Structures are given as structure tokens and as C-alpha cells.
């Protein structure tokens, strides 16, 4: 499998490329290594992930390989990564350019923002093959759309359209296929234009607060707010506002 990258200013574009135009088997160690590099690169402030071609974001894992295995292989999932609870506080935008199925969907739901092409479809069919879906989708999906819709999605294995995904809140917006990357890059660019420490702190606060009592979340928010005020970027933002110029952020 291949994972290719391209830089657009402070935005990193990751393209998933499988053995065929369904981009099967791309949620693997290679992808997580690239995401680790993204997390460590001070120049990269937001990431857009999409699938190669026009047919699929990713249609999941190769079921023939799963069926032939003994279930013992970790496939690189034995170390912290985006799917199993590893922390990555830089934002990730999924540009879903077609079929988003199984492991492909599980990865997309672990991203922060999802934009779908009009022809995109969504499904988690694992229950039809005799096993519960993994990679954290049973934990993440109910938090995004509620238990009822999540259970309908997961227990039927049905395939849903981009418009249905939009109605459920699975995706932020649906756009024509030809405009998908333009929209995703524009959104990522607006995020990357903000002070990096403030962006990372905001993402961390949102996700940590989902697991905290309200009082604990409020205390964390206050702590991150006060820490943010002391950064060079915060001072630069305020100076630029007063001087009516564009700020230059350095991530410190």
C-alpha cells in the first residue's frame, strides 16, 4: 500500500492509495507513520486526507486476508495511533471522495472534520461477516450521532448516501466531487492560518471535555486559556489586530 503526501503551505495533504481503485487495506502502519511525522512537523498545522482516484476514500480491509488469517496479527495497531487512543492534537480533515466503508469509515470517523463528495457512500458491514466492528467505531460513532442512529448504522450494515450522512451529522458538508479538494483545502487553510498552539489546545479541550464532568472540563478550559494568553503567538495576534496587519505566527 502507498501513502503519498504533498504540502500546501502549512497544510499537509495525505492521499491513500490501495492496490486497486477501492483503496482497500490503506488503514495500516504506513498511514500511522505519516500521521506521526505530521504531528511532529512544526511547519504543518492542518492535514487533509483523501483517497486516490474518484471511486473511493477507502473501501476498508481486504476481507480475504482477514478470513485467511488466524487473528493474531496486529498490523501495526499494537502501538499508540489515531485509531487506538493515541493523541494527535493537530486537526485532520477527511475529504471523502467516494466509498467510505469498513476500516475506511472507521478511520474517517476518527478524523476531526469530514467533507463528502455527492457520490460518497458510507457503511460498516462487519456485522454481516460475523464479527463486531473495531478500531473504535462503536465508541466514536454514538458520540457523533447518538446511540439510536449509530446502532441502526452498525447493526444493519446498510450503505448510506452522502445526504443521509449529512442529515445524521456524520459529515460537515456535501459538495460536488469536482469541488471536494478545493473545499477541503480552503477549510484547512483557514484553520492553519490561526495560531497553532491555540488550535491544538482547542481540539484537545473539545475531546478531553467529552470524557470529563462539566466542572473538570471548565477547569481545564481555564488552564488552557491562561496558558494561551502567555504565548508569543497570542501577543502577536493582539499586536497585529491593533496595527491592522496580518499576523505572523511561529507556534510558540
Confidence of residue 73 (pLDDT cuts 50, 70, 90): very low
> Does residue 120 belong to any structural domain of this protein?
yes
Q: Are residues 236 and 218 in the same domain?
A: yes
Q: Are residues 170 and 107 in the same domain?
A: yes
Q: Are residues 116 and 142 in the same domain?
A: yes
3-class DSSP state for residue 110?
helix
Q: Are residues 57 and 144 in the same domain?
A: yes
Confidence of residue 66 (pLDDT cuts 50, 70, 90): low
Q: Are residues 138 and 23 in the same domain?
A: yes
pLDDT at 82: 86
**CATH code (residue 212):** 1.10.12
> Does residue 250 belong to any structural domain of this protein?
no
Taking only the tens place, the pLDDT of each residue in 107-130 is 999 999 999 999 999 999 999 989
- Mean pLDDT for 176-185 is 97
* Range in 7-11, 101-105, 208-212 the model is least confident about: 208-212
Q: Are residues 137 and 36 in the same domain?
A: yes
pLDDT at 251: 79
Tell me how far apart the alpha carbons of residues 99 and 121 are, in angstroms, rounded to a whole number.
Answer: 5
Cell numbers for 205: 479541550
DSSP line for 218-230: HHHHHHHHHHHHT
Q: Are residues 10 and 133 in the same domain?
A: yes
Count of CA atoms in the C-beta half-sphere (13 A) of 153: 29
Q: Are residues 182 and 203 in the same domain?
A: no
Q: Are residues 86 and 157 in the same domain?
A: yes
Q: Of the residues 192, 208, 224, which one is the last residue of a structural domain?
A: 192
**0.85 exceeded by pTM:** yes
Q: Are residues 212 and 175 in the same domain?
A: no
**CATH code (residue 53):** 3.90.226.10
Q: Are residues 130 and 161 in the same domain?
A: yes
- Mean pLDDT for 32-58 is 95
Q: Are residues 17 and 90 in the same domain?
A: yes
> Does residue 249 belong to any structural domain of this protein?
no
Domain span at 63: 2-192
Nearest partner of 54 among 148, 220, 239, 178, judged by Cα: 178
DSSP-derived secondary structure letter, 103? H
Number of domains, the chain: 2
pLDDT at 40: 95
Tell me how far apart the alpha carbons of residues 17 and 176 are, in angstroms, rounded to a whole number.
Answer: 22
> Does residue 248 belong to any structural domain of this protein?
no
Tell me how far apart the alpha carbons of residues 201 and 34 are, in angstroms, rounded to a whole number.
Answer: 22
> Does residue 252 belong to any structural domain of this protein?
no
Amino acid at each position: 500500500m502507498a501513502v503519498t503526501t504533498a504540502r500546501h503551505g502549512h497544510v499537509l495533504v495525505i492521499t491513500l492509495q490501495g492496490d486497486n481503485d477501492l483503496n482497500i487495506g490503506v488503514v495500516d502502519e504506513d498511514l500511522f507513520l505519516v500521521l506521526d511525522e505530521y504531528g511532529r512537523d512544526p511547519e504543518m498545522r492542518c492535514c487533509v486526507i483523501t483517497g486516490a482516484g474518484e471511486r473511493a476514500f477507502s473501501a476498508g480491509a481486504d476481507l480475504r486476508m482477514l478470513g485467511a488469517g488466524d487473528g493474531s496479527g496486529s498490523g501495526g495497531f499494537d502501538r499508540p495511533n489515531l485509531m487506538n487512543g493515541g493523541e494527535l492534537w493537530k486537526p485532520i480533515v477527511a475529504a471523502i471522495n467516494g466509498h467510505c466503508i469498513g476500516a475506511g469509515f472507521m478511520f474517517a470517523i476518527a478524523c476531526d472534520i469530514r467533507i463528502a463528495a455527492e457520490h460518497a457512500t458510507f457503511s460498516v458491514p462487519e456485522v454481516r461477516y460475523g464479527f463486531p466492528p473495531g478500531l473504535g467505531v462503536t465508541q466514536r460513532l454514538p458520540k457523533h450521532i447518538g446511540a439510536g442512529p449509530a446502532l441502526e448504522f452498525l447493526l444493519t450494515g446498510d450503505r448510506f448516501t452522502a445526504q443521509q450522512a449529512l442529515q445524521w451529522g456524520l459529515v460537515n458538508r456535501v459538495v460536488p466531487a469536482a469541488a471536494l479538494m478545493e473545499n477541503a483545502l480552503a477549510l484547512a487553510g483557514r484553520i492553519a492560518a490561526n495560531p497553532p498552539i491555540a488550535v491544538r489546545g482547542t481540539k484537545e479541550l473539545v475531546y478531553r471535555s467529552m470524557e470529563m464532568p462539566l466542572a473538570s472540563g471548565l477547569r481545564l478550559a481555564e488552564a488552557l486559556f491562561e496558558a494561551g494568553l502567555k504565548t508569543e503567538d497570542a501577543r502577536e495576534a493582539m499586536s497585529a489586530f491593533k496595527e491592522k496587519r496580518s499576523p505572523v505566527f511561529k507556534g510558540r
